[in-house]
């Protein structure tokens, strides 16, 4: 059953703004969450990346805040600068429709403008570290916050922000509305939720056969000396789309961007060691299609929500199942299709095979031609293989 945002109770000004952006029908997570947020309930939402969760909390929060409220009235915590900036980009048009001010505060840029403007924002979107900097400088107070959102809570905890998040929440009123969004509500996230929510409505936006992203998964068996050639070939085959390439380290990202440039491929590296201005410019160039590829580390790419990413290429395989899901989840968003490619060297076959089995991608992995041998090592039948299997997503 399809619903419009107006059907869910969103006000005419906000629903109209969404409609002008071409957004009318609500996604499943939005249909689940919006009525409860509007009703003032605490919410725990488990939903995969790219499912539309930002609007699930942004639209009803904008409606719940009065323009005359003491500020900031809403606080949204995000793990990375990029995610904070993108949340503001999605929220600001809706907030403008109700005469609300929105501001992002994060590190990597000058703090003085944030000090000047933070206390005047109705909706504050922040990374934990920079927000604590502002609080320690007494640039603002959280005593008037009515709603707190913990977005991508699992990643926030993975990145070591739990002490900061706990400290920040203690500075907000006990009688507040708390919304927690995460790819999983298990483990440490569950503990955080139990400590800081009250009678929360719990929603799971599970991936089903009908809602599963349309992703083609390919595993390519390749040895070290052939990896660059394999990547260049993949990028040449994808001239009309956006390709996001993952590596494990900052140094690896810089080095790969230079190596691609020497092969005539226009690529930029994006990681935590870059200045915010550099990262913003790289992301803008990527969105506008000026780059053949954006090379990113896991942390830097966590907040990337760019429409039109057709390929995610794991130049270095992810460390685990969740890493694979978060990376490949950058493509096939909002009903689109996409391709996920993972390069597998022979000594990585065991670990990548384990990830593939956990995600029910055994067949796709087998087609790579990389197999373990009886001595616990592995061998590749394809050295420079560029397997073209067309199996679609079963990863969840």
**pLDDT at residue 94 is higher than 50:** yes
How far does CA 8 lie from the centroid of its chain?
A: 25
pLDDT digits (tens, 9 = 90+) for 96-119: 999 999 999 999 889 999 999 999
Closest CA to 358 of 333, 316, 322: 322
Strand-pairing partners, residue 340, are: 217, 312
Which of the two residues, 82 and 296, has the higher pLDDT score? 296
List pLDDT tens digits, range 344-370.
Answer: 999 999 999 999 999 999 999 998 887
The domain made up of 12-204 has a fold known as Rossmann fold (3.40.50)
First to last CA, the chain: 23
Residue 311 parent element (H or E): strand 309-314
pLDDT at 43 > cutoff 90: yes
- pLDDT-derived band at 375 (thresholds 50, 70, 90) equals very low
Work out the mean pLDDT of the chain and round it to a whole number: 88
What dihedral do alpha carbons 218, 222, 228, 234 form, nearest 10°?
-30
Looking at residue 377, its pLDDT comes to 43
User: For position 379, what pLDDT does the model report?
Assistant: 46
Instruction: With a cut of 70, say whether residue 263 has pLDDT above it.
Output: yes
pLDDT digits (tens, 9 = 90+) for 196-229: 999 999 999 865 444 456 899 999 999 999 999 9
| pLDDT tier at 301, thresholds 50, 70, 90 | low
Q: Which residue has the higher pLDDT, 205 or 379?
A: 205
Q: Topology of domain 214-380, per CATH?
A: Rossmann fold (3.40.50)
What is d(CA 214, CA 209) in angstroms, rounded to the nearest whole number?
Answer: 10
Where do the domains of the chain lie? Answer: 12-204, 214-380
Mode of pairing for the β-strands spanning 43-46 and 147-150? unpaired
Beta bridge partners of 214: 337
* pLDDT value, residue 82: 85
Confidence of residue 308 (pLDDT cuts 50, 70, 90): confident
pLDDT at 391 over 90: no
pLDDT of 229-248, one tens digit each?
Answer: 999 999 988 877 899 999 99
Pick from 197, 163, 195, 201: which is nearest to 43 by CA? 201
pLDDT for res 295: 96
CA atoms of 252 and 217, how far apart (whole Å) = 24
Please, which pLDDT band fits residue 149 given cuts at 50, 70 and 90? very high
pLDDT at 325: 84
CA distances from 284 to 22, 270, 279, 382 (A): 21, 12, 9, 37
Measured CA distances, 233 to 45, 153, 263, 370 (Å): 40, 37, 11, 20
Res 24: pLDDT: 83
């Amino acid at each position: 059953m399809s619903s419009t945002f107006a059907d869910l109770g969103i006000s005419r000004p906000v629903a109209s703004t969404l409609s002008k952006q071409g957004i009318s029908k609500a996604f499943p997570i939005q249909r689940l969450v919006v009525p409860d947020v509007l009703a003032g309930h605490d919410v725990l939402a488990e939903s995969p990346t790219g499912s539309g969760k930002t609007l699930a909390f942004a639209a009803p929060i904008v409606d719940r805040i009065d323009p005359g409220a003491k500020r900031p009235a809403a606080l949204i915590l995000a793990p990375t600068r990029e995610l904070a900036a993108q949340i503001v980009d999605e929220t600001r048009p809706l907030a403008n429709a109700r005469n609300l001010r929105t501001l992002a505060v994060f590190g990597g840029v000058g703090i003085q403008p944030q000090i000047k403007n933070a206390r005047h924002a109705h909706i504050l979107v922040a990374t934990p570290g920079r927000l604590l900097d502002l609080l320690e400088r007494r640039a603002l107070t959280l005593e008037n916050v009515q709603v707190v959102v913990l977005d991508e809570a699992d990643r926030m905890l993975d990145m070591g922000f739990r002490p900061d998040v706990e400290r920040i929440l203690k500075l907000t009123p006990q009688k507040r509305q708390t919304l927690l969004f995460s790819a999983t509500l298990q483990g440490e996230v569950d503990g955080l939720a139990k400590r800081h929510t009250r009678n929360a409505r719990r929603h799971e936006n599970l991936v089903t056969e009908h809602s599963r992203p349309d992703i083609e998964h390919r595993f390519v068996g390749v040895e070290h000396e052939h990896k660059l050639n394999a990547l260049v070939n993949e990028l040449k085959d994808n001239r009309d789309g956006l390709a996001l390439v993952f590596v494990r380290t900052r140094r690896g990202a810089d080095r790969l961007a230079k190596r691609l440039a020497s092969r005539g491929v226009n690529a930029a590296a994006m990681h935590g060691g870059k200045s915010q201005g550099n990262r913003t410019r790289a992301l803008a160039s990527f969105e506008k299609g000026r780059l053949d590829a954006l090379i990113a580390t896991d942390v830097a790419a966590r907040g990337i929500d760019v429409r039109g990413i057709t390929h995610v290429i794991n130049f270095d395989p992810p460390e685990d199942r969740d890493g694979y899901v978060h990376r490949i989840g950058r493509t096939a968003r909002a009903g689109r299709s996409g391709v996920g490619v993972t390069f597998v060297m022979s000594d990585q076959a065991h670990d990548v095979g384990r990830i593939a089995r956990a995600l029910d991608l055994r067949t796709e992995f087998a087609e790579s031609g990389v197999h373990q041998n009886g001595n616990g090592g592995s061998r590749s039948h394809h050295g420079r293989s560029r397997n073209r299997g067309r199996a679609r997503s079963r990863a969840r």
